[in-house]
Structure 1
Amino acid sequence: MADKKIVYTTYQRESDLAPAIKLIDQDLSEPYSIYTYRYFVHQWPELCILAHAQNKDNNEEEKGECAGVVICRLEPHRRRYCEGFFEDSAELNRGYIAMIAVGKPFRKQGVGSELVRRALDRMREMGADEVILEAEVGNAAALALYQRLGFVREKRLYRYYLGGMDAFRLKLWL
């Protein structure tokens, strides 16, 4: 892909969704309905980040092939009370990385890492104090990516996915 440059954008319109869905459906073991995607992109469009591969001579306005996507959300949560450190009623925000997929031709080029970094930066700007996600126990590449970015395994979720696969819940404190 040396003749391509990767351009990152946030969700803008419904036409952004079809290539993202195609990529996610190819990569993830869980089936999602169109309503699930719309829930995320309509509530948190700034947390749906797409990577497009463009020919180096294309102008910025032309979106190329969808190389990757990350879809996230941000919601309030209450941190557990910690004597003398946090106030029990402190309102904090938890980010959640729901889906990430990178097309096979674009793997091992930093696209996934950059998508997650951009999502983390955006969530931090929006007031997140932690980010969580789930990853299949057998997905060594994803687990290695998240570990490099500072995530730690919080717990194992047995038979978490529809196919009976276990997952790890991962957490990153911001």
Structure 2
Amino acid sequence: MSNDEAKPLPPMPAFYPHPPSDVGQLIQTHPPNIAYIQYDISLEPKYLPQMRALIAKDLSEPYSIYVYRYFLYQWPELCFFAIDTSTDDYALVAVVICKLERHRGGPMRGYIAMLATRNAYRGQGLAKTLVSKAIDLMILKDADEIALETEETNLAAMKLYESLGFLRSKKLHRYYLNGSSAYRLLLYLKPGVASIPLDDFYDPYGCGDLPPSAQDDPRYLHGREDNDDLFSQGII
């Protein structure tokens, strides 16, 4: 089959029929041969192994299969990925994985858990477009704010998120399991969100300051002796 012949894409769900926000309209890019796909559980056999391989290569956290399923089984619609349609197997080249739930009984908080792009595909706006699609859908779902963490040394990621309006909220010392520190970034979507009171009952051990990889780590289930390591330093 020549490159000029159209290849049928594997069966996959359509994107949510929602109007794009101003953010999405401003930054979405569509390089040649790139298609953006919204995740569905039916795609797990083909694309979950590719997601894990890409994220394991780019990110420092050791995410188990249970962490991926924690996000993908509950919020599959908040995972978007890019594929290269010029490859024989429609290879996955970038991915964002998110969730959306009420934060400690307060604001409806979106959370960007993982974002990765293959080296050869960087600089084309894929990551920014995927994050934009996630933001658009969270807005549609009435999110109040969106949060994420990134390593303090990952200047490219911070530049990307800050260009979308995210603000540095906290510095999290020794946040990741490898001992690296991180910044928490927040994007406020509605006026007055920062003043919504939180209920500590929803997070008695400070689990809101734990990385996604801790979802299935027994060290974090009932508090930690060294929990002081996770105390965060407010910035704004």
* Shorter-chain TM-score range: 0.7 to 0.9
Q: Measure, in 2, the Cα distance between the counterparts of 1:29 and 1:39.
A: 19
Cα distance change of structure 1 residues 73 and 63 upon mapping to structure 2, 3 Å threshold: farther
> Which deviations, in whole Å up to 9, do the C-alpha atoms of 1:52-108 show, x marking residues without a partner?
0112xx8xxx861111000000001344xxxxxxxxxxxx41000000000101101
Q: Measure, in 1, the Cα distance between the counterparts of 2:48 and 2:38.
A: 11
Structure 1 residue 11, shift from structure 2 partner:
1.3
Corresponding position of 2:100: 74
Unaligned runs of 5+ in 2: 1-30, 190-236
SS at match of 2:97: strand
Query: Identity rate of aligned residues, in percent?
Result: 49
Q: Is the 8 A contact 1:52 1:63 kept in 2?
A: no
Q: Measure, in 1, the Cα distance between the counterparts of 2:48 and 2:142.
A: 26
- The number of residues matched between the two structures is 155
Corresponding position of 2:204: none
Choose 1 or 2 for highest CA Rg.
2
Q: Is the 8 A contact 1:24 1:100 kept in 2?
A: yes
Instruction: Normalising by structure 1, report the TM-score.
Output: 0.85
* Residue 157 of structure 2 corresponds to residue 142 of structure 1: yes
Q: Residue type of the partner of 2:39?
A: Y
CA RMSD of aligned residues (A): 1.6
Structure 1 residue 4, shift from structure 2 partner:
4.3
Q: Residue type of the partner of 1:120?
A: I
Q: Is the 8 A contact 1:11 1:48 kept in 2?
A: yes
Higher strand share: 1
Structure 1 residue 10, shift from structure 2 partner:
1.3
> Which deviations, in whole Å up to 9, do the C-alpha atoms of 1:100-121 show, x marking residues without a partner?
0001011011001001000100
Instruction: Normalising by structure 2, report the TM-score.
Output: 0.63
Q: Measure, in 2, the Cα distance between the counterparts of 1:5 and 1:131.
A: 30
Q: Measure, in 2, the Cα distance between the counterparts of 1:119 and 1:32.
A: 21
Unaligned runs of 5+ in 1: 80-91
Q: Measure, in 1, the Cα distance between the counterparts of 2:188 and 2:89.
A: 34
Give the counterpart of 1:10 among 30, 34, 38.
38
Corresponding position of 2:216: none
SS at match of 2:62: coil
Give the counterpart of 1:166 among 181, 186, 200.
181
Runs of 4+ in 1 over 6 A off after TM superposition: none
SS at match of 1:141: helix
Q: Measure, in 2, the Cα distance between the counterparts of 1:171 and 1:20.
A: 25
Q: Measure, in 1, the Cα distance between the counterparts of 2:66 and 2:179.
A: 23
Structure 1 residue 51, shift from structure 2 partner:
0.6
Give the counterpart of 1:39 among 60, 67, 70.
70
Counterparts in 2 of 1:96-135, with a 5 A limit? 96-135=111-150
Q: Measure, in 2, the Cα distance between the counterparts of 1:159 and 1:76.
A: 26
